[in-house]
């Protein structure tokens, strides 16, 4: 996984709540067996007109000022719905590495960390301030510093955020999750041996 480094990037505004995974990546684009190339399908149904090709001029991410944005600022309950990792794959492939909202759906939230995307939870007031700053100055660049757990803006906002210590370390270092877990392989084997004695019927078909 790519390490997450401090950056200053355009923040795009998506003033919608409950953005679900069916919007992030509609199901017709989930038939591939690869992890790559989903960015072109991100928000397809909102992003393109009925011909599926022409960019929808009314869709916020199509605004020229938001091109190249790495930070997405969106309304509450972002990523609700299905467990499809195609959603964070599409988001990352499109170019975002940070999403700021007041809340995220559980599965989407953990999927982000597996794909070098930092989901940042802020308060309603903080979100309103961030959104207002973008609305007043589209194309504005925010700075995200994961090590310091801080978002700063040219308008003078300084927002400190919480992040689980282990997830932070994993993102900063670009750690391989499976590799880390396998350093505890002895504990897993121990557990399995004990379970075979405790609940033998679970291993009957082994």
Partner 1 sequence: MTKTMYEKIWDANLVHEPESGSPLLFVDRHLMHEVTSPQAFEGLRLQNRQVRNVHSILGTIDHCVPTKDRYNIVDAIAKKQVETMTSNCEENEINLYGMDSDQNGVIHIVVPEHGFVHPGMVVVCGDSHTATHGAFGALAFGIGTSEVEHVMATQTLQQKKAKTMLVKVEGKLPAYSTAKDIALAIIAVTGTAGGTGYVMEFAGDTITDLTMEGRMTLCNMAIEAGARAGLVAPDQVTYDYLQGREFAPKGEYWEQAVAYWESMKTDEGAEFDEVITLKAEDIAPQVSWGTSPEQVISVTGVVPSPSDFDNEVKAQACASALKYMDVQAGQKITDINIDIVFVGSCTNGRIEDFRATAEIIKGKKVADGVQAIAVPGSFPVKIQAEKEGLDKIFVEAGWEWRDPGCSMCLAMNGDELKDGQRSASTSNRNFEGRQGKGGRTHLVSPAMAGAASIAGHFVDIRDWK
Q: Which residues bind partner 1 (CB under 8 A)?
A: 16-18, 20, 22-23, 26-28, 30-35, 45, 50, 75-77, 80-85, 88, 103-107, 110-111, 114-115, 164-166, 177-178, 180-182, 184-185, 187-188, 191-192, 195, 199-206
- H/E stretch holding 137 reads none
CA-to-CA separations, 195 to 129, 181, 183, 185, 190, in angstroms, rounded: 52, 19, 20, 15, 9
Which residue number, 60 or 85, has a Cβ lying nearer to partner 1? 85
Cβ closest to partner 1, residue 9 vs residue 62: 62
Q: How far apart are CB 153 and partner 1 at their closest, in Å?
A: 23
Q: Two tokens at 28?
A: 């017709």
**Among residues 158 and 199, whose Cβ is nearest to partner 1?**
199
Least separation, in Å, of the C-beta of 158 and partner 1? Answer: 25
CB of 13 to partner 1, least distance (A): 15
**Cα 57–Cα 69–Cα 135 angle in degrees, nearest 5:** 65
Rounded-to-integer distance, Cα 184 and Cα 179, Å: 9
Task: Tell me whether residue 98 or residue 111 sits nearer to partner 1 (CB atom).
Answer: 111
- Give least dist CB 136 to partner 1, A: 20
Q: Which is nearer to partner 1, 6 or 32 (CB)?
A: 32
Beta bridge partner(s), residue 99:
72, 119
- Give least dist CB 200 to partner 1, A: 7
In the chain the first and final C-alpha atoms are separated, in Å, by: 33
Backbone angles phi, psi at 142, to 5 degrees: -105, 155
| Tokens (6 digits) for 193 | 């041996």
């Amino acid at each position: 996984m790519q390490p997450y480094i401090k950056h200053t990037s355009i923040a795009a505004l998506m003033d919608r709540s409950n953005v679900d995974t069916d919007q992030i990546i509609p199901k017709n684009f989930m038939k591939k067996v690869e992890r790559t190339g989903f960015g072109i399908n991100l928000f397809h149904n909102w992003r393109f007109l009925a011909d599926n090709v022409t960019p929808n001029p009314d869709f916020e991410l199509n605004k020229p000022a938001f091109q190249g944005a790495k930070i997405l600022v969106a309304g509450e309950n972002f990523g609700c719905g299905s467990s499809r990792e195609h959603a964070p794959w599409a988001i990352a492939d499109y170019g975002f590495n940070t999403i700021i909202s007041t809340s995220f759906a559980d599965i989407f939230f953990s999927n982000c960390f597996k794909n070098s995307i930092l989901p940042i939870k802020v308060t309603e007031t903080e979100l309103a301030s961030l959104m207002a700053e973008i609305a007043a100055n589209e194309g504005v660049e925010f700075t995200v510093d994961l090590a310091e757990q801080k978002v700063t803006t040219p308008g003078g906002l300084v927002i400190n955020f919480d992040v689980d210590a282990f997830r932070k370390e994993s993102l900063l270092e670009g750690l391989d999750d499976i590799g880390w877990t396998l350093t505890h392989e002895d504990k897993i084997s121990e557990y399995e041996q004990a379970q075979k004695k405790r609940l033998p019927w679970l291993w009957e078909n082994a």
